Amino acid sequence: MRRIPWRKVALALLGLAAVGFLAGWASELPDGLEWVLARLGLAPEAGQPFRSPLPDYRWAGWPPALEAVLSAVAGGLLVWGVLTLVGKLRQGNERP
């Protein structure tokens, strides 16, 4: 097991939180696809059968000002974890 570079980890987490902080002021305007759908009168059907744990990056019961920061850090960590796991598994396969 290699030593964990805590300084880099802390910096990366801080960076994610900073981008999340920025996302707190993200534009609420419809994105390109939503805008096109509205203009062409193509409304999506309602009734999504699958509910995500944190739909629309909302954290029920948490201060709204923190939601974007929490989402950026949690989502970023999750993506990092998935990719690191895939990378390690792949390397493991290479050198048995």
Partner 1 sequence: MHIPYGLLSTEVSLATAAAAAPWVGWALWRVQRRYEERAVPLMGMLGAFIFAAQMVNFPVAAGTSGHLLGAALATLLLGAPAAMLVLTAVVVVQAVVFQDGAITALGANLLNMAVLGVLATRLVFSGWTRVLGTRWRAAGVLLAALVSIVVPAAACAAEIAASRLYPLPLVLGAMTGIHVLIGAAEALITLAVLRCIAAVRPELTAGLLGKGGGHAPDPVA
Contact criterion met (CB below 8 Å) for 46 and 35: no
Identify the CA nearest to 52 among candidates 32, 78, 34, 28: 78
> Is 70 among the residues that bind partner 1 (CB under 8 A)?
no
Does position 36 interact with partner 1 (CB under 8 A)? The reply is yes
CA–CA separation, 18 and 93 (whole Å): 36
Please identify which residue in 33, 61, 65, 96 interacts with partner 1, judged by CB under 8 A: 33
Those residues whose C-beta lies under 8 Å from the C-beta of residue 54, and which sit 6 or more positions away, are: 71, 74
Site for partner 1 (CB under 8 A): how many residues? 57
- Per-residue interface string for the shown chain with partner 1, residues 48-67, x marking contact by CB under 8 A: xxxxxxxxxx----------
Nearest residue to 57 (alpha-carbon basis) of 19, 13, 92, 8: 19
Closest approach of partner 1 to the CB of residue 4, in Å: 12
In the complex, the residues that contact partner 1 under the rule CB under 8 A are: 12, 15-16, 19-20, 22-23, 26-37, 39-40, 42, 44-57, 68, 71-72, 74-84, 86-88, 90-91, 93-94
